[in-house]
Amino acid sequence: MSKNQAVTPPPIEFTGRIARLLLSLIDGTMKLLDKEDNLQKKLNETAVVIKKGIRVSSATELDQLIDDYFDRLILEQKFAGGERDLVNAMVLEVVETIKSMMKNSGDFNSGIDECTDKIQEAETMQDILKVKNFLVLEMQKARQHSLNLYEELEKHRTASETLTKKLEESEAKAMVDALTNVLNRNAYNLKIGQLFHEFKRYKEPWALLVLDIDHFKLFNDKYGHKTGDKVLKSVAGTITDSIRLSDQVFRYGGEEFVVILSRIDKLSTSTLSEKIRKAIERDYFVDGDKKLQVTMSIGASIIGEADTETSLFERADKALYQAKENGRNQIMVDA
C-alpha cells in the first residue's frame, strides 16, 4: 500500500454496533463500581466521547445479553452481602450471650463474697442457717442461669451450623435465575432460613407471597415455549418494578414466583399484593401482531410464632389454591 493511498474506513453500521457494544460493557462495569471510584468518572467520560463521535446503533440481542449478565452479577453480589451481614449478626449474638454469662458470673461471685462476710459475722446458729439458705438460693439462681445460657448457646450452635451448611451449598450454585434475572430457588432456600432466625430475635413480621401465572400452559401450547419464556421474563420484570426496595422476588419454579415483603402487616400485605396483581393485569405482552394479556393469582401468609419454613409456605400455597378456585386473577391472604 502506497503512502498516499487512503485507508478505507470501516462501514458506519459496523462502527455503530461496536460503539453500542462498548457502551453496554462500560455501563455494566460502572454498575459494579462504587460511586466514589475514580474509574467511574473516566468510564463516564469515555461513554460521552463515544456518543458524541459515533452514531450508536440501536440495542441488539447481544447487548441485552450483556446487560442481563451484569444485572445477574450485581444481584448475586447484593444477595451475598446480605448473607455476610447475617453471619456477622449471629457472631455478635454469641458475643452478647457470653457477655451476659460473664456479667451474671460476676453477680454470683459478689453473692459468694457477701455470703463469706455473713459467715464471719455470724454469732448464732440462727445466723448461720440464714447464711445457708442464702447460699442455697444463690446456687439455685446460678444453676438456672447456667441452664438458660446452655440452651441459648445451643440454639446459636444449631442455627449457625444450619446457616453454614446452606452457605456452603450455595457457593456451588447460582443464586440468580438465568431466564428471568431474579433470585432463584437456591437463593430462596437460603433467605428463608435467615428471615426465620431474625424473626425469633426481633419479632418483626414479614409476609410470604406465592404467585402463579394463570393458564400459563396455554401460552406454551398455543404460541410456543419461546413466547412462554418471554412472558416469564416480562412478568418477573413487572413484579420487580412493583415491590419496594426492601422486598425480594424469587423464581420458585416453572411459572411460580415467591415474593418476601419485609416489616409488614395484613393490611399492607393485601395492598401490596393487589398492587402486583393489577400491574401484571395492566401490562400486556406483544407477540407479533397479537396482544397477550397475562394475569396472576396470589396467595399470601404472614409469619407467626408457631410457623416453620414449611408451614408458612404451605399456608401461602393454600391461599393461592383458594384464589385459583375462586376464579383466578385475585389475591388471598392467610394471616
Name the domain count of the chain: 3
Q: Is residue 67 part of a domain?
A: no
C-alpha span between 275 and 254 (Å, rounded): 22
**156/23 same-domain check:** no
**113/18 same-domain check:** no
Q: Which of 162, 199, 184, 201 lies closest to 312, judged by CA?
A: 199
Tell me which of 149, 170, 191 is where a domain ends.
170
Q: Is residue 304 part of a domain?
A: yes
Q: Is residue 78 part of a domain?
A: no
Distances (CA, A) of 235 to 91, 92, 252, 331: 39, 39, 13, 16
Q: Indicate whether this model's pTM tops 0.75.
A: no
**315/192 same-domain check:** yes
* CATH code, domain with 186: 3.30.70.270
Q: Is residue 4 part of a domain?
A: no
**189/324 same-domain check:** yes
**321/185 same-domain check:** yes
C-alpha span between 188 and 260 (Å, rounded): 9
- Residue 70: the pLDDT is 79
Per-10-residue mean pLDDT of the chain, 335 residues long, equals 57 74 80 80 82 73 78 76 60 58 57 62 65 64 67 68 61 78 89 85 92 92 88 93 93 96 93 95 75 91 94 96 96 89
Q: Which residues neighbour 316 within 8 Å (Cβ) at sequence distance 6 or greater?
A: 208, 209, 210, 299, 300, 301, 334
Q: Are 42 and 82 in contact (CB under 8 A)?
A: no
Other CB atoms closer than 10 Å to residue 333's CB: what's the count?
21
Q: Are 211 and 259 in contact (CB under 8 A)?
A: yes
Tell me which of 153, 170, 187 is where a domain ends.
170
Q: SS3 of 2, please?
A: coil
**127/242 same-domain check:** no
Q: Which three cell numbers stand for residue 314?
A: 404451605
Q: Which residues neighbour 90 within 8 Å (Cβ) at sequence distance 6 or greater?
A: 156, 159, 160, 163, 197
Q: Which residues neighbour 190 within 8 Å (Cβ) at sequence distance 6 or greater?
A: 83, 166, 167, 170, 175
Q: SS3 of 59, please?
A: coil
Instruction: Name beta bridge partners: 209.
Output: 259, 300
Q: Is residue 2 part of a domain?
A: no
**208/128 same-domain check:** no
- Indicate which residues carry an active-site annotation: 255
Q: Are 60 and 18 in contact (CB under 8 A)?
A: no
> 287: buried, middle or exposed (CB in 10 Å: 19+, 13-18, 0-12)?
middle
Q: Is residue 243 part of a domain?
A: yes
- Residue 108: the pLDDT is 53
Q: What is the DSSP string of 116-162?
A: HHHHHH--SHHHHHHHHHHHHHHHHHHHHHHHHHHHHHHHHHHHHHH
**55/104 same-domain check:** no
- Residue 202: the pLDDT is 83
36: containing domain: 12-59
Q: Which of 271, 274, 239, 231 lies closest to 255, judged by CA?
A: 231
C-alpha span between 178 and 236 (Å, rounded): 12
**192/301 same-domain check:** yes
- Residue 32: the pLDDT is 77
Q: Is residue 249 part of a domain?
A: yes
C-alpha span between 295 and 219 (Å, rounded): 12
**102/46 same-domain check:** no
